[in-house]
């Protein structure tokens, strides 16, 4: 994995951990699968996040995704082009 990808993953991890205190967090860089894709031309990456957090209790999928996007803030404009999300509560995991 490139140094740039490692740095992006760490920035994503830091933001999600600070905002959502996950019990589990897995981040995978899938950018290599999108080489040549129009959305990859600007240098931002494609990521998959699996996150388990008590912060999602009582929330539906849309609210969970909004919470993740809010936590990532500017990273969605600077580092992330596409984000696949699997967000669960500890009871659902």
**Token pair 């995704």: residue:** 65
How many structural domains are present in the chain? 1
* Assigned domain for 16 exists: yes
* Assigned domain for 31 exists: yes
* Assigned domain for 68 exists: yes
Model-level pTM?
Answer: 0.88
| Each residue's pLDDT tens digit, 25-52 | 999 999 877 566 665 566 678 899 999 9
- The 10 Å CB-count burial string (b at 16+, else e) for 37-71 is eeebeeebbbbebbbbbebbeeeeeeebeebbeeb
* Assigned domain for 10 exists: yes
* Assigned domain for 93 exists: no
CATH number, residue 50: 3.30.300.90
* Assigned domain for 26 exists: yes
Domain span at residue 28 reads 3-88
| Each residue's pLDDT tens digit, 6-17 | 899 999 999 999
């Amino acid at each position: 994995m490139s140094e740039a990808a490692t740095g992006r993953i760490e920035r994503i991890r830091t933001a999600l951990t600070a905002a959502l205190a996950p019990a589990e967090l897995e981040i995978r860089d899938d950018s290599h699968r999108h080489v040549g894709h129009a959305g990859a031309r600007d240098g931002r990456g494609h990521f998959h996040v699996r996150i388990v957090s008590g912060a999602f209790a009582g929330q539906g999928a849309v609210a969970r995704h909004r919470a993740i996007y809010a936590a990532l803030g500017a990273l969605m404009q600077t580092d992330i082009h596409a984000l696949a999300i699997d967000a669960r509560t500890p009871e659902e995991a």
